[in-house]
Amino acid sequence: MIKETTLCMGCMNDKPYDGPCKLCGYSDDAPCIPGYLVPKTFLNERYIVGKLLSYNGEGAVYMGYDAAAGAKVTIKEFMPDTLCSRKRGETEMTVNPESSALYKTYMSEFADLNRSLMKLRGMAHIQAVLDVFYENGTCYAVFEFISGISLKTYLLNSAGELSWEQVKELFPPILTTLSLVHAAGIIHRGISPQTIFVTDKMELKLAGFCISAARTTNTEIACEVFSGYAAPEQYTNEINGTWTDVYGISAVLYRALTGTAPAEAIARTGGSMLEPMMINRNIPQNVSRVIMSGMKLSPESRIRSITEFVDKLFAQPKYIPSENGARNERPLTRQQEKRLKKQKKERVKTIVVLAVVGVVLITFAVVFALTISGAFGAGSAGGSEPEPSQAVTEEVSVPEQTSSVPVTTSQPPDTTPVAPEANISVPDFTNRRYENTVSRYEGIFTFIPTYEYSDEYAAGMMFDQSVDAGTFVSEGVQIEVKVSKGRSLVPLPEYEGMTLSAYIRELSSQNIKYSVSKKKTNDVPDGNVAECSKAVGDLVNVADGETITVYVAQNFEAEPAPETADESGDTTAAEGGNETEEQE
């Protein structure tokens, strides 16, 4: 059923005039994709369907209007195009006969998912589900309209990245909400900058929930996974869980803090992706490492829950005090913590011993002075008092010691702490991988990294150290090292015949920042890279953050040539072609 209205089908604002909308530019003459609902379709005697916003293997999302509430909404229609179809001009869904049972199963899962989300509509940081109903042989879910932009667009408008201070302001509420969503038994599987929105109130909202079959490969419906943000188990038959969304939100933070999209999970090897702090030195080291722990390829090794992820991400790291009293931003290892506790305990013992020695010395001085003045002359003849020149030794009890400590007043003990023995030879760390070296020498050396671009050393390799190789040092010594971020000038790689996701992986592996735009062309297949803002082989200055624009091909159907009639009544294509007989 078509509903006559003066609303613009592009933005659902009132448009009492003819022609394109002055607010969004939408025109009623815009072509519609066959198989989807046409604008102004009226659903459930309440909702007006507007233009098609997006679609995936699960279904389609339309701009909408709630006539009863007088408010904008978005409407999601269950329509897996591998199992069903719709004839042009019709609203009823036609299900493939051989897929009927599977269609009903997935539709039931779609309804259950959105009804569960509907129960969570009080949560401010997910897109609320307002209604779920059946019509036209399928199921619909009505969502609140989010007034804002996607995080992807917001990042592009924010110089490509956010500071850690900005992230600390924006993300905690949505992380808490995601934890509650998991507690309700719902897994998102599609967390990415495209499914997180920044509202006009500068709050984040999570949208884009789908049934599991639409977010994992090897199912009967088309899979939608977001390259770089989908966990590796989404590409296989491994079990998905809360850890799958941990990977997604970690990847989002990686992108937000570095300005660089993470590499696709199935294209990564163990150490092929740079740690965030290697790209942006302003990222705290503990934050960088938690993000990498959240993006581990093995689900068993990855942080398993959002609660654990949040605890580690925002935990206050312990610090190693430096010689000048400043704090070193490197968290302590377990061995370093034990060593510092031991040193504190030894300092307490030393202070106690010094205090007791001071008391004994004062007592001895008083006794000695009184003896010289003859105060004890009457009783000293037959006594056993020691001569002044003799050493006087007392037993003093020291806390946390198993035996008493003899203190000789004539020769106080040397309480100066003994310096650790310098018996460890420092290796040459040049051209060694930083991550592997830190793991190998944990508890022996404390590394303080500085990341710099280098045209001589590969990314992640060390090339300078503050303590020369061969120097003998004590355990725990701090060594400042320089770590390569890779080449400062990188030639733009070849893109011919490459899909957008494959080329983005190549750019990311070489630290090249990029933005993506569409280009209408039929010269290359749809979705492949058509061209870049620089020629292949030209040098890109990654050290200065130079950004390359990647143009992805968007194929289009060529308009048919207009026909003209000749004097004989035959019609011929204006630019030549086959003649066709005019039908009476």
* pLDDT tens, residue order, the chain (584 aa): 788 899 999 999 999 999 999 999 999 888 888 899 999 999 999 999 999 999 999 999 999 999 999 999 999 999 999 999 999 889 999 999 999 999 999 999 999 999 999 999 889 999 999 999 999 999 999 999 999 999 999 999 988 899 999 999 999 999 999 999 999 999 999 999 999 999 999 999 999 999 999 999 888 999 999 999 999 999 987 889 999 999 999 999 999 999 999 999 988 876 678 999 999 999 999 999 999 999 999 999 999 999 999 999 998 665 544 444 444 445 555 555 556 666 666 666 667 767 776 777 777 777 766 666 655 444 434 444 444 434 333 433 434 444 444 444 445 555 555 556 677 888 999 988 887 788 778 778 888 888 888 888 887 889 999 999 889 888 888 899 998 888 889 899 999 999 988 888 888 778 888 888 889 999 999 989 999 999 999 999 988 888 899 999 999 887 666 665 554 555 444 443 333 333 33
CB 164 within 8 A of CB 172: no
DSSP secondary structure of 49-98: EEEEEEE-SSEEEEEEEETTTTEEEEEEEE--TTTEE--TT--S-EE-GG
| Residue 97: both structure tokens together | 């006969």
pLDDT for res 4? 86
Pick the CATH number of 424-484 from 3.80.10.10, 3.40.570.10, 3.40.190.10, 3.30.10.20: 3.30.10.20
Which residues, other chains included, contact 374 with Cβ-Cβ below 8 Å and sequence gap of 6+? Answer: none
CB 480 within 8 A of CB 521: no
pLDDT for res 260? 94
Full 3-state SS string of 308-369: HHHHHHCCCCCEEECCCCCEEEEECCHHHHHHHHHHHHHHHHHHHHHHHHHHHHHHHHHHHH
Report the C-alpha gap between 212 and 192 in whole angstroms.
16
The domains spanning 1-145 and 424-484 adopt the same CATH topology: no
255's enclosing H/E stretch is helix 242-258
pLDDT for res 332? 52
| CB neighbours of residue 370 within 10 Å | 11
The DSSP letter of residue 53 is E
| CATH architecture under which domain 149-317 falls | Orthogonal Bundle (1.10)
| CATH architecture under which domain 1-145 falls | 2-Layer Sandwich (3.30)
Three-class SS state of 38: coil
pLDDT for res 192? 97
Pick the CATH number of 489-554 from 3.30.10.20, 3.60.15.10, 3.40.1360.10, 3.30.365.10: 3.30.10.20
pLDDT for res 144? 97
Report the C-alpha gap between 389 and 260 in whole angstroms.
79
Which residues, other chains included, contact 198 with Cβ-Cβ below 8 Å and sequence gap of 6+? Answer: 148, 149, 150, 151, 154, 170, 204
pLDDT for res 565? 52
Domain ranges of the chain: 1-145, 149-317, 424-484, 489-554
Burial bucket for residue 412 (CB in 10 Å: 0-12, 13-18, 19+): middle
pLDDT for res 248? 98
Q: Nearest CA to 145 among 87, 73, 234? A: 73
Q: Find tokens 């459930």 and name the residue.
A: 44
Report the C-alpha gap between 234 and 264 in whole angstroms.
12
The DSSP letter of residue 171 is S
pLDDT for res 542? 86
pTM, whole model, 2 decimals? Answer: 0.58
